[in-house]
Amino acid sequence: MDKTKISLDFALKDGFKRMKRILFEPFEIAKWLIIGFAVFLYSLGQNMGGFNYGFRSPMSNNPQIQKDFGSLRDFLGNNTLPFILILIGGFLILFALMLLVVWLSSRGKFLVLHNLIENKSEIKNPWKNFGHLGDRLFFFRIIFYILTFLIVLLLLTPFFIFLFKTIKNNSFSVSFYIVFALTILMVILFSLIIAIINAVLLDFVAPIMFKREVSALSSFKIFLTELLKGNFVSFILFYLIKWGLAICCGFIILIVSCCTCCIAALPYISSVVFLPIFLFFECYTLSFLSQFGADWNLYRWNLENIKEEEIPPSAEPIEEIKPLPEKEE
């Protein structure tokens, strides 16, 4: 089999045309609202965490604050067990909410895929028909997140022990700053690896699950053997372009949100207002995937008036048709 020829230019143009066909030809507000709801479900849990709060130190020079802090410390000291139980209960509630969010997001991914592949706006039917795939993706993501947390904990524990000893002994030597810099570099590299794996999971593993009706782990193996092998550079360029465009679109979203007093950034409303941006990225991914052969073209509807030079190259060359030998009389 010849090496697959991938055109990122085709993926961008085809993705944009398909987004325009789905949303604007014709424009139907009901279609926007329905697909926007599917996008809203899928986007849940995509940016979990990342909250920053500013706290003033309770041990300031204010006598009243010192008194209140001392009273709080005495209260916690006398009610240690109830406090621990409350912490455990709060953790369990947060964990349950996280499970719910990831489950809805996983099912929402297949709602979006169905509507793009079929050029429809449905929630009920794909929720029922592809719910089992969403559940498989959900379990894989939860296991992946837990393993990621444990690995991070394992990597950072030695540093925190070293940091505690350094602070206790007040010995901030050159070795401390070297260890600190290496730890930061390790965290950055590990975060990049996790981000790439998560992107591949949602961009390509989920469509493979949709196409082949297999588990997430089997889809990862298919991705590595049938898609990534021999096309590593194409996937690097694909993500460089996608992430570059995402940064530009992020500025657009920020400007529109500020101009609307953050109304456009509200949950669900943002999924409808910025639906063209989101669908463009999803169509760009599916159009990129469609160039790996007819089996990977998930679209079940065709664009009209496609020029010959815009047709994606096939993964396998078309064999020349030879004429049948003439029968001897």
Instruction: Read off the pLDDT of residues 21-69 as tens digits, 9 standing for 90 and up.
Output: 999 998 999 999 999 999 999 998 665 433 333 334 344 444 544 444 4
pLDDT in tens, 61-81: 445 444 444 555 555 566 667
Helices (H), the chain: 8-24, 29-43, 63-78, 80-118, 124-129, 131-169, 174-200, 206-212, 216-222, 232-259, 269-273, 275-289
The predicted model gives 292-307 an average pLDDT of 81
pLDDT in tens, 221-243: 999 999 999 899 999 999 999 99
CA distance 288 to 235: 9
48, 101 contact by CB (below 8 A): yes
Per-residue pLDDT for 300 more than 60? yes
Burial 240-260 (b: 16+ CB within 10 A, else e): ebbeeeeeebeeebeeebeee
272, 36 contact by CB (below 8 A): yes
* Residue 119, φ and ψ in degrees, nearest 5: 55, 55
Instruction: Judge if the upstream peptide bond of residue 26 is cis by omega within 30 degrees of 0.
Output: yes
DSSP 148-211: HHHHHHHHHHHHHHHHHHHHHHT---HHHHHHHHHHHHHHHHHHHHHHHHHHHIIIIIHHHHHH
**Which residues contact residue 144 at a Cβ distance below 8 angstroms, ignoring those fewer than 6 apart?**
197, 198, 201
Lowest mean pLDDT among 145-149, 275-279, 321-325: 321-325
Lowest mean pLDDT among 46-50, 260-264, 269-273, 287-291: 46-50
Residue 94: C-alpha distances to residues 77, 81, 145, 149, 267 (Å): 25, 20, 15, 15, 19
CA distance 292 to 279: 21
Q: Collapsing DSSP states into helix, strand and coil, what is residue 223?
A: helix
- What are the residue ranges spanned by the domains of the chain? 8-46+63-310
pLDDT of residue 310: 46
- First-to-last CA distance in the chain? 40
Q: Collapsing DSSP states into helix, strand and coil, what is residue 27?
A: strand
For residue 261, the 8-state DSSP code is T
120, 300 contact by CB (below 8 A): no
Q: Collapsing DSSP states into helix, strand and coil, what is residue 241?
A: helix
Residue with the two structure tokens 């498989």? 136
